[in-house]
Amino acid sequence: MQAGPMAGLVAGSGGGAVVMVRVIMLSPPGAGKGTHSRWLTLQTGAAHISSGDLLREEVARGSDLGRQVASYTDRGDLVPDELIFRILAPAVVTAARNTGGYVLDGFPRTMPQALRAAQFGADLALTSNAVIYLTAPEDELVSRLLDRAQRDGRADDTLGVIRHRLAVFARETAPLIDYYRGRGILLELSTNRAEADVQADLLNQLQARGLMSPRATELGPDHSGQAETTLRNS
C-alpha cells in the first residue's frame, strides 16, 4: 500500500495543504498502538478505527455475530477475515467520508487482510500513506498487558492468552512488517521509553514524509482545533 495520486489533501494549519493521515498501526499486543492511535487522532482529526474495540462492542451487544467473535477473541485467536471485513469496512468508509483520514488500530493483521485492504484502498482512493510499527521487548509487553488486566479486566489479558496472542502476532502479523517496509511506507519506533519521546519521534517521522504540518506540532493537541473522531460506536 502506498500513497496514491488521490491521497487526501486538506488545508494545513499553516495555510498550506498537507496530506491527511491515513495510517496503519502495526504492533504486537501491549506495544502501545491504542494509546498512540488515540493521541495521533487528537493531533490530526483523522478518525480512530480500532478493530479490537469494534469487535468488543459487537460482543457486548450480545448479537449472533458477537458470540461468533467472542469464540475467537477470548482465546486470543484472530477473528476470520470475512467477519473482520464485514465489521470494519463500513467504519473505514464512514471515517474517510467524515474526516478524510484514518488511524487504523489493529488492522490489517494477516497478509490476506493486508492484500485485500490494499485493493479496497485503491478502489476507493483511501490508500494508506504510512504504517507505524511500534516495538518493545517481550517482557515489557507482557508486564504492560498484565497491568492493563488489573485496570480494565479484559477477558484476553490473562497470562496464557497473552502468550498465545504474542505467538499469533509472530506467526500471522509479523510478515506484514517486511511487506510494508518493501513498499517504503514503514515507520519503526520503539515504545520502550517515555511516551512524550515516542510522540515527538512519531511527529518528526510523519513530518519528514510530508504527512503532518510542523505547525500542528508546535501548537500541540489543545490548539490543534481538531476534535477526536472515534468510530468505535458507529
Regarding 52 and contact with ligand AMP (CB under 6 A), the answer is: yes
| 176 Cβ contact partners less than 8 Å away, ≥ 6 residues apart | 26, 108, 109, 110, 111, 114, 131
The only residue of 27, 51, 99, 213 in contact with ligand AMP, by rule CB under 6 A: 51
| Distance from C-alpha of 81 to C-alpha of 186, rounded to nearest angstrom | 23
- Angle of helix 51-61 relative to helix 81-99, nearest 10 degrees, comes to 110
Regarding 106 and contact with ligand AMP (CB under 6 A), the answer is: yes
Tell me the per-residue interface mask from 60 to 99 with ligand AMP, x by CB under 6 A, - otherwise.
------------xx--xxxx----x---------------
DSSP code, position 126: -
Question: Exposed e or buried b for every residue in 131-145, given b needs 16+ CB within 10 A?
Answer: bbbbbbeeeebbebb
Closest distance of CB 74 from ligand AMP, Å: 8
**Nearer to ligand AMP (CB atom), residue 113 or residue 128:** 113
113-132 binders of ligand AMP (CB under 6 A): 113
Which of the ranges 107-115, 180-188, 195-203, 226-234 carries the binding residues for ligand AMP, by CB under 6 A?
107-115
Strand spans (E) along 37-89: 47-50
Regarding 25 and contact with ligand AMP (CB under 6 A), the answer is: no
Regarding 198 and contact with ligand AMP (CB under 6 A), the answer is: no
Regarding 165 and contact with ligand AMP (CB under 6 A), the answer is: yes
